[in-house]
Structure 1
Amino acid sequence: MSRSRPLTARGWGCLLSGILLIVAANIAAARPLLYIGVLLAALPVVCLMIVRMPRRRGEVTRQISTDLMAVGETSRVTVRFDLWSFGIPNGIWRDVLPAAVRGDATGDYPDDALRYDVEGMRRGVSTLGPLMLRTTDPFGLARREQAFGDTRTITVIPQTVALAPLPTKVGAAGGTAQTRSTRIGQGADNLIPRPYSSGDSRRRIHWRATAHRGSLMVRQEEEEASPDAMVVLDRTAGRWARPGEDPDPAFEQAVSLCASAALRLAQDGYSVDVVDAAGNPLGALRGHEEDREDMLIALATVEPRGEAHDIRSVVGSTAPGPLILITGVLDDEDAEKLSTAGAAAPLLFAASASAEALASVRSHGWHPSVLPTGTTDPAELAAAWASALPFTTVQHV
């Protein structure tokens, strides 16, 4: 952040004019010019002291209308600015915005309400602030810009797109969660009170049973047994372009599809694991709202790195129903050895792939599609998803 200059253009002009008049007065021996020159030279200095001398301190708190803001989404930021100063200065306030968002975060102080709208532009966790207050003297010769308050963290999550459901049920259970047994857990709220044990979450305390029994009771719940699905985001560094500090549009589309596909499968009743190509977990959706937020926050900061592993080692010994693999550049050699790992519904999305590579993975049982990397239109991403759903009958493997 560049430092504000202490004098305005008018102030510098006044100071330089005063100096020139002083020099001219000495050359021409004109005493009136000397008086005027001294006055013009001293006025900016006096104004600078008037602006800079008062001690000011302030507290800033910010409220954002949404805890998590998606790319392309708009949120309202309301700022409360408590300023302690000798008198109420007039000036312009400005909240410092990171590159992840954009908006008009400026206004007159103290006339305008301190609120503004920001639009998510880039995934990531960044900070809003500090709040800058720029004031000038009544003559407009000197100015002061001062930072107030702490910053506020803002998280921009990937844009999610409404995707079509799978056209057929995968496996015997399909996409419907089935209740299978009663045990201690945090599944659906089928309540059976039991005594509190060390390690139980206090969020599961059954207050009515606690009041009745006189000791802490918690909810024992039925666990939901859902068919498994897996979404693999191949963020191998070699498969994605890294154009300096700018985000890779293809990778942004891949992250958006990863989040959207996981949410789509969870909505259809699947128990979804989201991992990268090395098997590192990026999220797990088990029917809780906090699972969704945790996954989106993890995807907000994911970047291309590392190396890929064989898809069979990532999936493990138990093949899932739907398997979604999202990758970057898919060459012919990798396509030739890309196994479906026994998944019942393997879908593959590549940012770039030749016709031969697509034919090769199709021969291995994948249903491939190419990511729309030249556009940010959500409809294009939904169309790419739909184009990878040609199957009508799927047998569980």
Structure 2
Amino acid sequence: MRRRRSLTSRGAGALIAALGCMIAANVLGARILLYIGVLLAALTLFSLLAVRLPRRSGTVTRQISTDLLTVSETSRVTVRFTLRALRVPRGLWHDVLPDAVTGDSGGEYPPETGQLTYLITGVRRGVWPLGPLMLRTVDPFGLAQREQPFGDSRSVTVVPEVFALAPLAVRVGAAGGTAHTSSTRLGQGSDNLSPRGYIPGDSMRRIHWRATAHRGQLMVRQEEEESSPDAVVVLDRSSRHWDAPGVHADPAFEAAVSLCASSAIHLASEGYSVDVIDGAGTLLGALRGHEDDRDGLLVALAMVTPRGESRDLASLIGGTPPGPLVFITGRLDEEDAALLRPAGATAPMLFSTELLPGAAEASVPHGWTVVELGADIAEAWEDAVSARIGVGDVPR
């Protein structure tokens, strides 16, 4: 943040004029020029002291209308500024904004409404600081100025943009989003369950009579739960598939992150339990029908960058294959595509921001529906769904 000079352009000009008048007075012997020079110098000094000497302190609180700011979304920031000074000066204020958001965060002080408000629009993912609040005052002659920061900064989280996607047909998944793969093995007619010894407090309805008769002591049915996610979204952010992060955002990686968020939230809205992981197996989010799950995923995706290496997809998914599997990657060559196996997923969809020659042909035999991801995320998703189940089956 560049600090302003204490003298304005007018003040600097007055000081130079004062010095010129004093020199000219000595050269020309014109005493009136000396008086003018001293007057200009004294006026500049007085103006400088008038804006610098008064003691000021204040408190700043900010309130943002949305907890999470989505890329391209506009939010209102309300700033309450309490200034403690002998005299409330008139001046200009502005809140320091990061490059990740845009907005007109300045105005006249004191405001008519008693509080400062402005709008910001998200531009780039991440967690960024808002502030501090800067108050700029100028003396009545416009010769000197003072810009003073007040309060601390507050962070704003800019999350990826979420797009509305075309719905999946029920037959795309093993049973759509309504049949979960978690089950509890209980029942009177199941004899192949592993029994355990009776513990005081166990329900008598859970007694396994055949095992009790066989072992000569009370045995109860062991409650076994086997659970696996219905859908998996994988964001492959291994550094070899993406350009190195720079000062400016990579549009291809931003599209991949946005598709990751959009597809996960979309599948969750269709009734699937969704696990979102990266190519190394790190869990980025798990959507289980709670609103906090969605926010947690978006916050995690606000921070992701290309890094690390990826692991074999089959080892990431484990032994129980999901229904829909969404795999999102960057540059994909034929060699990597040939090794990429969907691990038994019912509906595997592969999105690549840059399909190199031969990559699509090497992926299709493994069961992938391959789509190149461009700027239009919703269109890429619809292309994948259409290719999987036929254009006529996509609900409009």
TM-score by length of 2: 0.84
Q: 1:240 touches 1:251 (CA, 8 Å); kept in 2?
A: yes
Equivalent residue number for residue 389 of structure 2: 392
Say if 2:143 is the partner of 1:127: no
CA separation in 1, counterparts of 2:327 and 2:349? Answer: 6
Note the 1:87-98 alignment, pairs <5 A.
87-98=87-98
Whichever residue aligns with residue 391 of structure 1, its letter is R
Give the aligned partner of residue 215 of structure 2.
none
Q: Which structure's CA Rg is the greater one?
A: 2
Counterpart in 2 of 1:305?
Answer: 307
Alignment of 1:234 with 2:236, yes or no, is yes
1:39 maps to 2:39: yes
Question: Could you tell me whether the CA contact under 8 Å between 2:259 and 2:377 is conserved in 1?
Answer: yes
1:81 corresponds to: 81
Cα deviation for residue 245 of structure 1 reads 1.1
> After the TM superposition, which residues 339-354 of structure 1 pair with which residues of structure 2 at under 5 Å, given as runs?
339-354=341-356
Q: Are the equivalent residues in 2 in contact too, given 1:69–1:156 (CA < 8 A)?
A: yes
Mark the runs of 5 or more structure 2 residues left unpaired by the alignment: 186-224, 391-396
Aligned to 2:340: 338
1:42-121 to structure 2, matched below 5 A, reads: 42-111=42-111, 113-121=115-123
CA shift, 1:180, in A, is 6.2
Report SS of the residue matched to 1:388.
Answer: helix
1:308-319 correspondence runs (5 A): 308-319=310-321
C-alpha distance in 1 between matches for 2:129 and 2:318: 39
Alignment of 1:263-274 (within 5 A): 263-274=265-276
CA distance in 1, matches of 2:229, 2:43: 79
* Residue of structure 2 in register with 1:370 after alignment: 372
Task: Work out which of the residue numbers 274, 281, 289 in structure 1 matches 2:291.
Answer: 289
- What per-residue deviation string (whole Å, max 9, x for no partner) do you get for residues 18-76 of structure 1? 11111111222222211111001111111000100000000000110000010000000
Please give the alpha-carbon distance, in whole angstroms, between the structure 2 residues aligned to 1:260 and 1:171. Answer: 18
Aligned length: 347
How far apart are residue 333 of structure 1 and its match?
0.5
Separation in structure 2 between the aligned mates of residue 155 and residue 51 of structure 1, nearest angstrom: 36
Summarize the Cα distance change of 1:177–1:88 in structure 2 as closer, same or farther, 3 Å threshold. farther
TM alignment of 1:146-185, pairs within 5 A: 146-170=148-172, 173-176=175-178
Normalised TM-score (structure 1): 0.84
User: What corresponds to 1:381 in structure 2?
Assistant: 377
RMSD: 2.0
With 75-84 and 226-235 compared, the bigger mean Cα shift is at: 226-235
What is aligned with 2:14?
Answer: 14
- Measured in 1, the distance between the counterparts of 2:322 and 2:116 equals 51
Is the Cα contact below 8 Å between 1:339 and 1:364 reproduced in 2?
yes
- Look up the equivalent residue of 1:235 and give its one-letter code: R
Conserved 8 A contact 2:334-2:357: no
Which aligned pairs between 1:316-327 and structure 2 lie closer than 5 A?
A: 316-327=318-329
Q: How far 1:294 moved relative to its partner?
A: 0.5
Letter in 2 for 1:388: A
Q: Identify the residue that residue 279 of structure 1 maps to in structure 2.
A: 281
- Among all aligned residue pairs of Structure 1 and Structure 2, give the percentage whose two residues are the same amino acid: 58
Residue 391 of structure 1 and its aligned partner are, at CA, apart by 2.7
**In the alignment, which residue of structure 1 is the partner of 2:198?**
none
Instruction: Tell me if structure 2 keeps the 8 A contact 1:127–1:152.
Output: yes
Q: Does 1:356 align with 2:358?
A: yes
Which of 249, 253, 265 aligns to 1:251? It is 253
Q: Which amino acid aligns with 1:56?
A: R
Quote the offset at 1:170 in angstroms: 4.6
Q: CA deviation at 1:111?
A: 3.4
CA gap 1:268/1:12 in 2 versus in 1, 3 angstroms: same
